[in-house]
Protein backbone atom coordinates (compact mmCIF):
# COMPACT_ATOMS: atom_id res chain seq x y z
CA UNK A 1 0.00 0.00 0.00
CA UNK A 2 1.50 3.37 -0.99
CA UNK A 3 2.44 5.93 1.64
CA UNK A 4 0.02 8.88 1.20
CA UNK A 5 1.32 10.87 4.19
CA UNK A 6 3.67 13.00 2.05
CA UNK A 7 1.17 13.49 -0.80
CA UNK A 8 -1.63 15.12 1.23
CA UNK A 9 0.49 18.04 2.56
CA UNK A 10 1.87 18.58 -0.94
CA UNK A 11 -1.61 18.83 -2.47
CA UNK A 12 -2.87 21.02 0.36
CA UNK A 13 0.13 23.33 0.17
CA UNK A 14 -0.08 23.59 -3.61
CA UNK A 15 -3.79 24.40 -3.55
CA UNK A 16 -3.33 27.00 -0.82
CA UNK A 17 -0.43 28.56 -2.71
CA UNK A 18 -2.47 28.74 -5.92
CA UNK A 19 -5.35 30.40 -4.06
CA UNK A 20 -3.05 32.95 -2.45
CA UNK A 21 -1.33 33.69 -5.79
CA UNK A 22 -4.71 34.17 -7.48
CA UNK A 23 -5.87 36.42 -4.67
CA UNK A 24 -2.72 38.62 -4.80
CA UNK A 25 -3.00 38.93 -8.60
CA UNK A 26 -6.66 39.89 -8.34
CA UNK A 27 -6.01 42.31 -5.45
CA UNK A 28 -3.33 44.25 -7.36
CA UNK A 29 -5.37 44.52 -10.55
CA UNK A 30 -8.84 45.00 -9.11
CA UNK A 31 -11.05 48.04 -9.61
CA UNK A 32 -10.17 50.52 -6.88
CA UNK A 33 -12.57 50.66 -3.94
CA UNK A 34 -13.79 53.85 -2.29
CA UNK A 35 -15.55 53.14 0.97
CA UNK A 36 -18.26 55.44 2.24
CA UNK A 37 -20.83 55.94 4.95
CA UNK A 38 -23.79 58.32 5.08
CA UNK A 39 -25.42 59.72 8.17
CA UNK A 40 -28.49 62.02 8.33
CA UNK A 41 -29.15 64.17 11.37
CA UNK A 42 -32.14 66.41 11.91
CA UNK A 43 -31.20 69.97 12.85
CA UNK A 44 -34.78 71.21 12.61
CA UNK A 45 -37.90 69.25 11.63
CA UNK A 46 -41.42 70.49 11.12
CA UNK A 47 -43.43 71.07 14.29
CA UNK A 48 -46.90 69.41 14.13
CA UNK A 49 -49.67 71.90 13.40
CA UNK A 50 -51.50 70.57 16.44
CA UNK A 51 -48.87 72.25 18.59
CA UNK A 52 -50.31 75.61 17.54
CA UNK A 53 -46.87 77.21 17.38
CA UNK A 54 -45.60 77.82 13.82
CA UNK A 55 -41.82 77.54 13.70
CA UNK A 56 -39.08 77.54 11.07
CA UNK A 57 -35.28 77.45 10.83
CA UNK A 58 -33.72 80.79 9.97
CA UNK A 59 -30.45 81.00 8.03
CA UNK A 60 -28.60 84.26 7.39
CA UNK A 61 -25.84 84.75 4.82
CA UNK A 62 -24.54 87.46 2.49
CA UNK A 63 -27.76 87.27 0.44
CA UNK A 64 -29.97 87.97 3.43
CA UNK A 65 -32.24 85.96 5.67
CA UNK A 66 -33.88 82.69 4.65
CA UNK A 67 -36.46 80.52 6.42
CA UNK A 68 -36.87 76.74 6.04
CA UNK A 69 -39.46 74.38 7.48
CA UNK A 70 -36.87 71.58 7.72
CA UNK A 71 -33.09 71.42 7.95
CA UNK A 72 -30.88 68.31 7.97
CA UNK A 73 -27.16 67.70 8.15
CA UNK A 74 -26.01 64.83 5.95
CA UNK A 75 -22.46 63.67 6.61
CA UNK A 76 -20.70 61.61 3.93
CA UNK A 77 -17.39 59.99 4.86
CA UNK A 78 -15.20 58.80 1.94
CA UNK A 79 -12.07 56.68 2.29
CA UNK A 80 -9.66 55.43 -0.37
CA UNK A 81 -9.56 51.69 0.34
CA UNK A 82 -7.71 50.78 -2.84
CA UNK A 83 -4.02 50.36 -3.59
CA UNK A 84 -3.76 53.42 -5.85
CA UNK A 85 -3.12 57.10 -5.08
CA UNK A 86 -5.18 59.73 -6.95
CA UNK A 87 -3.75 63.19 -7.61
CA UNK A 88 -7.35 64.23 -8.34
CA UNK A 89 -10.53 62.29 -7.72
CA UNK A 90 -13.81 63.58 -9.18
CA UNK A 91 -17.26 62.33 -8.22
CA UNK A 92 -20.89 63.46 -8.15
CA UNK A 93 -23.37 63.54 -5.30
CA UNK A 94 -27.05 63.54 -6.30
CA UNK A 95 -30.10 63.91 -4.06
CA UNK A 96 -33.76 63.47 -4.89
CA UNK A 97 -35.21 66.41 -6.84
CA UNK A 98 -37.30 67.40 -3.83
CA UNK A 99 -34.31 67.49 -1.46
CA UNK A 100 -32.17 70.61 -1.78
CA UNK A 101 -28.61 71.29 -0.63
CA UNK A 102 -28.24 74.83 0.72
CA UNK A 103 -24.65 74.59 2.00
CA UNK A 104 -21.66 72.25 1.83
CA UNK A 105 -18.44 72.01 3.82
CA UNK A 106 -15.53 69.61 3.26
CA UNK A 107 -13.07 68.37 5.88
CA UNK A 108 -9.87 67.06 4.20
CA UNK A 109 -7.47 64.72 6.00
CA UNK A 110 -4.90 67.51 6.50
CA UNK A 111 -3.79 70.92 5.19
CA UNK A 112 -1.98 69.40 2.19
CA UNK A 113 -5.28 68.06 0.82
CA UNK A 114 -8.22 70.08 -0.47
CA UNK A 115 -11.55 69.81 -2.30
CA UNK A 116 -13.14 71.89 -5.05
CA UNK A 117 -16.92 72.15 -5.55
CA UNK A 118 -17.82 72.95 -9.17
CA UNK A 119 -20.98 74.91 -8.26
CA UNK A 120 -21.58 75.94 -4.68
CA UNK A 121 -25.14 75.78 -3.34
CA UNK A 122 -26.57 78.50 -1.14
CA UNK A 123 -29.84 79.21 0.70
CA UNK A 124 -30.84 81.47 -2.21
CA UNK A 125 -29.67 78.93 -4.82
CA UNK A 126 -30.22 75.39 -3.47
CA UNK A 127 -29.07 72.44 -5.58
CA UNK A 128 -29.94 68.75 -5.92
CA UNK A 129 -26.45 67.72 -6.98
CA UNK A 130 -22.77 68.49 -6.52
CA UNK A 131 -19.60 67.77 -8.49
CA UNK A 132 -16.67 67.41 -6.13
CA UNK A 133 -12.96 67.15 -6.96
CA UNK A 134 -10.65 65.92 -4.22
CA UNK A 135 -7.13 67.20 -4.76
CA UNK A 136 -5.03 64.45 -3.25
CA UNK A 137 -6.83 61.18 -2.47
CA UNK A 138 -4.13 58.72 -1.47
CA UNK A 139 -4.43 55.23 -0.04
CA UNK A 140 -6.11 55.43 3.35
CA UNK A 141 -7.10 59.11 2.99
CA UNK A 142 -10.47 60.09 4.45
CA UNK A 143 -12.60 63.11 3.53
CA UNK A 144 -15.81 64.23 5.25
CA UNK A 145 -18.53 66.10 3.30
CA UNK A 146 -21.15 67.94 5.31
CA UNK A 147 -24.31 68.75 3.34
CA UNK A 148 -27.05 70.94 4.77
CA UNK A 149 -30.38 69.87 3.25
CA UNK A 150 -33.98 70.99 3.22
CA UNK A 151 -36.66 68.39 2.50
CA UNK A 152 -40.45 68.52 1.94
CA UNK A 153 -42.58 69.10 5.02
CA UNK A 154 -44.38 65.76 4.62
CA UNK A 155 -41.12 63.75 4.64
CA UNK A 156 -39.57 62.22 7.73
CA UNK A 157 -36.00 62.10 6.42
CA UNK A 158 -33.95 62.79 3.26
CA UNK A 159 -34.73 60.57 0.30
CA UNK A 160 -32.28 58.27 -1.53
CA UNK A 161 -28.87 59.72 -2.43
CA UNK A 162 -26.47 58.61 -5.18
CA UNK A 163 -22.67 58.73 -5.46
CA UNK A 164 -21.12 58.21 -8.90
CA UNK A 165 -17.78 58.69 -10.66
CA UNK A 166 -16.35 58.37 -14.17
CA UNK A 167 -13.08 57.11 -12.77
CA UNK A 168 -12.22 53.42 -12.53
CA UNK A 169 -13.48 52.90 -9.00
CA UNK A 170 -16.38 51.31 -7.20
CA UNK A 171 -18.21 52.83 -4.25
CA UNK A 172 -18.66 50.26 -1.54
CA UNK A 173 -19.77 50.02 2.04
CA UNK A 174 -16.55 48.09 2.57
CA UNK A 175 -15.46 44.46 2.60
CA UNK A 176 -11.93 43.92 3.87
CA UNK A 177 -9.27 41.88 2.10
CA UNK A 178 -9.51 39.15 4.73
CA UNK A 179 -13.24 38.71 4.12
CA UNK A 180 -12.66 38.59 0.36
CA UNK A 181 -9.96 35.93 0.77
CA UNK A 182 -12.33 33.86 2.90
CA UNK A 183 -14.95 34.01 0.15
CA UNK A 184 -12.44 32.99 -2.52
CA UNK A 185 -11.19 30.05 -0.46
CA UNK A 186 -14.80 29.04 0.21
CA UNK A 187 -15.52 29.02 -3.52
CA UNK A 188 -18.07 31.84 -3.28
CA UNK A 189 -18.54 34.14 -6.25
CA UNK A 190 -17.88 37.74 -5.27
CA UNK A 191 -20.32 40.28 -6.69
CA UNK A 192 -18.71 43.65 -7.39
CA UNK A 193 -20.66 46.89 -7.58
CA UNK A 194 -20.35 49.21 -10.57
CA UNK A 195 -19.26 52.81 -10.25
CA UNK A 196 -22.60 53.83 -8.79
CA UNK A 197 -24.29 52.97 -5.53
CA UNK A 198 -27.52 54.32 -4.08
CA UNK A 199 -28.11 55.09 -0.43
CA UNK A 200 -31.46 54.27 1.10
CA UNK A 201 -33.18 56.84 3.23
CA UNK A 202 -32.22 56.51 6.85
CA UNK A 203 -33.76 57.76 10.05
CA UNK A 204 -31.72 59.78 12.51
CA UNK A 205 -29.55 57.64 14.76
CA UNK A 206 -29.51 54.63 12.41
CA UNK A 207 -27.08 53.67 9.66
CA UNK A 208 -28.52 51.87 6.64
CA UNK A 209 -26.88 51.48 3.25
CA UNK A 210 -28.08 49.65 0.16
CA UNK A 211 -27.57 49.37 -3.57
CA UNK A 212 -31.34 49.57 -4.06
CA UNK A 213 -33.24 52.83 -3.79
CA UNK A 214 -36.50 52.86 -1.89
CA UNK A 215 -39.43 55.29 -2.02
CA UNK A 216 -39.70 58.04 0.51
CA UNK A 217 -41.46 57.06 3.70
CA UNK A 218 -44.62 59.16 4.24
CA UNK A 219 -44.74 61.21 7.39
CA UNK A 220 -46.58 59.86 10.39
CA UNK A 221 -49.90 61.49 11.08
Q: Please tell me the total number of residues recorded for the chain in this structure.
A: 221
Instruction: Identify which of 132, 126, 130, 60 has the alpha carbon closest to the alpha carbon of residue 98.
Output: 126
Instruction: Identify which of 159, 172, 204 has the alpha carbon closest to the alpha carbon of residue 45.
Output: 204
Average pLDDT over the chain, rounded to whole? 76
DSSP assignment string, 65-91: EEEES-EEEEEEEEEE-SS--EEEEEE
For the residues 105-109, what does the mean pLDDT come to? 95
Grade residue 28 by pLDDT with cuts at 50, 70 and 90.
Answer: low
pLDDT in tens, 5-25: 555 555 555 555 666 665 555
For the residues 88-108, what does the mean pLDDT come to? 96
The greatest distance separating any two alpha carbons of the chain, rounded to the nearest whole angstrom, comes to: 93
Q: Decide if pLDDT at 201 tops 70.
A: no
Cα–Cα dist 147/155, whole Å: 18
- Could you give the percent of the chain with pLDDT greater than 90? 48
pLDDT in tens, 132-179: 999 999 999 999 999 999 999 888 889 888 999 999 899 997 445 544
Amino acid sequence: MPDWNWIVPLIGGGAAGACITAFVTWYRGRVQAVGFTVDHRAIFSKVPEAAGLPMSARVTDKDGEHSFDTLYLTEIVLQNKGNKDFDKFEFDVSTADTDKIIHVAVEPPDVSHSAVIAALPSPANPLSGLRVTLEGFNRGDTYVLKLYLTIPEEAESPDSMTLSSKQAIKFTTGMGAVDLLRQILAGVTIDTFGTKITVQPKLVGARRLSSIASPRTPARQ
